[in-house]
């Protein structure tokens, strides 16, 4: 684990896809099918489309992709046991995702996501906007500076920074380029345990 922030955190917040759940979403394929240009997120692109029919078609295709991914959801290695440890220790936890409420509900049915609070794109502005993380902070009664947000993409790191939280990157073979934007970098989820005041036993 690489960290410049040795403090312990009172709450641990997570992204969903690629962090807790492996939904095998092919974002390159999604972007290509919907026609999203480089440099803009899928949600942002669809919101800016002036052609309402094309935007609605794009949202429907995104929904289909997300639901297919949710149906195939499996735990990221170590995620289930980590959430169980945090729950037993009564460490507040939450999920903020850019996914839809329907897709998250389906993923939750399959994996039984045991966290204190989940926010989706219907609940707040999408990351990297900090609104969702600040909402989680308030709902969990933990100040932002006492929270760490764990994700696998640059939007996760930017949202955490924008919210005044520690930005933690769960490193994988495809996201090494984001390391310099993270406050903490982990290669396994159990590396979070000491940051919540827990040991690895």
Q: Does residue 5 surpass a pLDDT of 50?
A: no
Both 80 and 117 in a single domain? yes
Answer whether residue 111 is part of any domain: yes
**What domain range is 44 assigned to?**
27-71
Both 46 and 90 in a single domain? no
HSE-CB for 133 with a 13 A CA cutoff: 31
Both 107 and 143 in a single domain? yes
Answer whether residue 3 is part of any domain: no
Answer whether residue 201 is part of any domain: no
Q: Residue 76: what are its φ and ψ, rounded to 5°?
A: -65, 145
Q: Which residues of 9-27 are buried (b: 16+ CB within 10 A; e: fewer)?
A: bbbbbbbbbbbbbbbebee
Q: Does residue 115 surpass a pLDDT of 80?
A: yes
Distance (Å, whole) CA 142 – CA 140: 5
Both 16 and 51 in a single domain? no
- Token output for 132: 């969702």
Answer whether residue 128 is part of any domain: yes
pTM of the model: 0.89
Both 58 and 109 in a single domain? no
Answer whether residue 4 is part of any domain: no
**66-114 pLDDT, tens digit each:** 999 999 999 999 999 999 999 999 999 999 999 999 999 999 999 999 9
* Number of domains into which the chain is organized: 2
Look up the CATH number of the domain holding residue 14.
Answer: 3.40.50.1000
Q: Which residues of 53-74 are buried (b: 16+ CB within 10 A; e: fewer)?
A: eebeebbebbeebbbebbeebe
Which residues are CB-contacts of 50 (< 8 A; sequence separation ≥ 6)? none
Q: Does residue 48 surpass a pLDDT of 50?
A: yes
State the pairing for strand pair 93-96/11-14.
parallel
């Amino acid at each position: 684990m690489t960290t410049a922030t040795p403090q312990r955190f009172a709450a641990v917040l997570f992204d969903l896809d690629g962090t807790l759940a492996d939904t095998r979403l092919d974002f390159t394929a999604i972007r290509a099918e919907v026609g999203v240009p480089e440099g803009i997120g899928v949600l942002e692109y669809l919101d800016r489309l002036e052609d309402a029919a094309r935007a609605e078609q794009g949202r429907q295709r995104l929904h289909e992709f997300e639901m297919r991914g949710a149906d195939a959801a499996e735990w990221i290695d170590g995620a289930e046991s980590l959430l169980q440890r945090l729950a037993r220790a009564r460490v507040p936890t939450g999920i903020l995702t850019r996914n839809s409420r329907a897709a998250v509900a389906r993923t939750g049915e399959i994996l039984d996501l045991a966290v204190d609070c989940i926010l989706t794109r219907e609940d707040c502005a999408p990351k990297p906007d900090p609104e969702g993380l600040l909402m989680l902070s308030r709902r969990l009664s933990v100040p932002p500076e006492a929270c760490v947000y764990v994700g696998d993409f640059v939007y996760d790191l930017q949202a955490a920074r924008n919210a005044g939280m520690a930005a933690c990157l769960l490193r994988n073979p495809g996201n090494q380029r984001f390391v310099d934007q993270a406050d903490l970098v982990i290669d396994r989820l159990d590396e979070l345990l000491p940051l919540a005041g827990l040991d690895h036993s």
